[in-house]
Amino acid sequence: MKGIKRKKLFIIGSSPCLLMKALILKDRYDITIIEKNSDIGGAWLYTEKFGMIMDNGPHLLYTLRRDLSAIYSFLNKEIGVKFQVHSPQPTSEESIFFFNTPEFNYTHFVAAKTEKRYTRFVIQLFQTLKNKFSDLIFKNSKYKYLYIEGGTYQLLKKFKEKLKQEGIKLILKESINNIEIIEGAIFLKSKKNIYKADKILTTSRLDLKLFSTKSLLIKTHKKEETILMVVYAKIKTQEKLKFSYHTFSKNDAFYLISDITNTTQQGSFDSKIISIAMNKNHQNTNITKSSIEKQLRDKRILPNDFVIEDVIVDSFIDKKIDSKIIKAILENSKGKITFINHDNLTRCWLSSIQNRYL
């Protein structure tokens, strides 16, 4: 409302979930977003490989038997993002029905029937048929899988344009290390600046070193772990790939594989780009072009004529504030600081649309 001074909300971090929150709350608060990196996006920030801009790994909007039309509608209406249907629909070796219907873990089922080899054969046959006809199965279904046209590059580009249009302030390359509450006011401190806020919205990935009130001092510490090792492969083939997004079993070296060719910002070339997320217990293995090619041939997931032109291996480090420290901060911030869980972007987006308050 005109004439009413809005409270200052500082959002620390710029993951797609936090960016959606900023747009939802823009009419209630005077919003400033502070991001430690040189661009927005957080863990969804695109990457550059083979001289092209592409998604930084296999990404998917999980339906989990939920209607995601609210997400598609919001992002299309608010920032002009368009979506395309995965073709073929995502497939999995970990569950017969993947994410659209109740999970059936065939590896556990087969383990209980080790003496009956035909069990694995029957289940794998069912899985093969389901994968082959997945487009037909999910045709006209509200649970079908869609993805962002142009990938995360276009998503973040549209978000940045909307932030500017709405007058939401964006500060890049600044890390908040200290938060102090003095007489009800919150002060955010970086190495160069001090900001005064009424409320803070952030995540456990915050680079916080110190939180203090008049009677309390908390030194934060983080646990560090490698969450994902990703292999990017540039592939030559004359045939169309038979998968869009595929989940392997828990015992495989591969965890996920995704065809990201259509979401790669590229010039004129006829190669395919796939990204492979490695399972955690295989992340320390020596990954080479020949080892990746051998595993792909063994799995028969690519056309027989495929040739790997180049391979790049990358890893992503996750740093989180300890959950006990977050609990202590929340108890002593008196509602002035909110932490959101954005480990699953789909769930976070749905929650943000359904709950439009802090």
Tell me phi and psi for residue 334, to 5 degrees. 55, 45
Instruction: With beta carbons less than 8 A apart as the criterion, state whether 219 and 21 touch.
Output: no
Looking at residue 136, its pLDDT comes to 55
Residue (of 181, 190, 224, 128) closest to 331 by Cα position: 181
Looking at residue 274, its pLDDT comes to 96
Looking at residue 40, its pLDDT comes to 97
What whole-number distance in Å separates Cα of residue 146 and Cα of residue 157? 19
Instruction: With beta carbons less than 8 A apart as the criterion, state whether 310 and 235 touch.
Output: no
CATH number, domain 223-318? 3.90.660.10
Instruction: Give me the average pLDDT of each 10-residue run along the chain (358 residues).
Output: 80 97 96 97 92 91 80 96 88 57 36 44 59 53 81 96 97 97 93 96 93 91 76 92 86 90 75 92 80 90 92 88 92 94 88 87
What whole-number distance in Å separates Cα of residue 358 and Cα of residue 352? 10
CATH number, domain 7-49+152-221+322-354? 3.50.50.60
Instruction: With beta carbons less than 8 A apart as the criterion, state whether 262 and 83 touch.
Output: no
Q: What is the pTM of this model?
A: 0.86
Looking at residue 49, its pLDDT comes to 93
Number of Cβ within 10 Å of residue 93's Cβ equals 22
Looking at residue 98, its pLDDT comes to 45
What whole-number distance in Å separates Cα of residue 104 and Cα of residue 79? 38
Looking at residue 142, its pLDDT comes to 64
Task: State the span(s) of the chain assigned CATH 3.90.660.10.
Answer: 223-318
Looking at residue 24, its pLDDT comes to 97
Dihedral (Cα; 276, 278, 283, 288), 10-degree rounding:
-40
What whole-number distance in Å separates Cα of residue 328 and Cα of residue 179? 13
Task: State the span(s) of the chain assigned CATH 3.50.50.60.
Answer: 7-49+152-221+322-354
DSSP 297: H
